[in-house]
Amino acid sequence: DQQVKQNSPSLSVQEGRISILNCDYTNSMFDYFLWYKKYPAEGPTFLISISSIKDKNEDGRFTVFLNKSAKHLSLHIVPSQPGDSAVYFCAASAPNFGNEKLTFGTGTRLTIIP
Amino acid sequence: DTAVSQTPKYLVTQMGNDKSIKCEQNLGHDTMYWYKQDSKKFLKIMFSYNNKELIINETVPNRFSPKSPDKAHLNLHINSLELGDSAVYFCASSQEPGTGRDYGYTFGSGTRLTVV
């Protein structure tokens, strides 16, 4: 029962262009969504989050868009840089009286081509 | 000055053995987690502790026993290891259970367990 899905296992983008990573979810109780970045042999690093009361959140080169009706979110990276090459995980959380957890997708490997 | 540190980084062991993975965080967080990343790259929660108390136990075989001696440490002991236990195990922490939803968890660098 995969509640968070990242259907593109990999994506290649030219340096300087926009990278768009997509994520779909099925659980309508999710009210927080997060993006993590992971380099090989390291743990995931938190990038940006959005709550379900917003449809956009921006932090520097990173913007997350949320479309609740479509149960879809995306991460935009502009402009893409070589250091952005990593695996990106989408995660989501539902309220649960202090027992909240993050449910992750399987990740998208982003490669930035110099 | 690692925020969440796990040891060992790599662990190769035979089936049937018992092993432990240690995790420590120096962030002053109250909540710690164990996640497992399997061969299909799913990152799935196993356990969560808040201030030394177990708050999430996600249908994990009872061969896995977490122990939290204090809120800065969460260790994972695995008995009678099986081939299917081979995975990368990540420890993580957050200020409180709810804050991880907004500010994210801080993850350790993982322990790659290989059972042969």
Sequence-distant (6+) residues with CB within 8 A of B59 are: none
Is residue A107 within 8 angstroms of chain B, CB to CB? yes
Is residue B14 within 8 angstroms of chain A, CB to CB? no
A-chain residues within 8 Å CB-CB of B92?
43
Measure in Å the smallest separation between the Cα of A92 and chain B Cα atoms: 8
Residues paired with residue A11 on neighbouring β-strands, in sequence order: A110
Per residue in A5-60, pLDDT (tens digit) is 999 999 999 999 999 999 999 999 999 999 999 999 899 999 999 999 999 999 99
Residues paired with residue B57 on neighbouring β-strands, in sequence order: B47
pLDDT, averaged across chain B:
92
Measure in Å the smallest separation between the Cα of A93 and chain B Cα atoms: 6
Per residue in B29-66, pLDDT (tens digit) is 999 999 999 888 889 999 999 888 898 888 789 999 99
Nearest partner of B4 among B76, B88, B73, judged by Cα: B73
Per residue in A66-104, pLDDT (tens digit) is 999 999 999 999 999 999 999 999 999 998 887 788 999
Query: Would you tell me how many other CB atoms lie within 10 Å of the CB of residue A18?
Result: 13
pLDDT for residue B96: 81
**Nearest CB neighbour to A100, from listed B98, B108, B110:** B98
Alpha helix (H) residue ranges in B1-116: 100-103
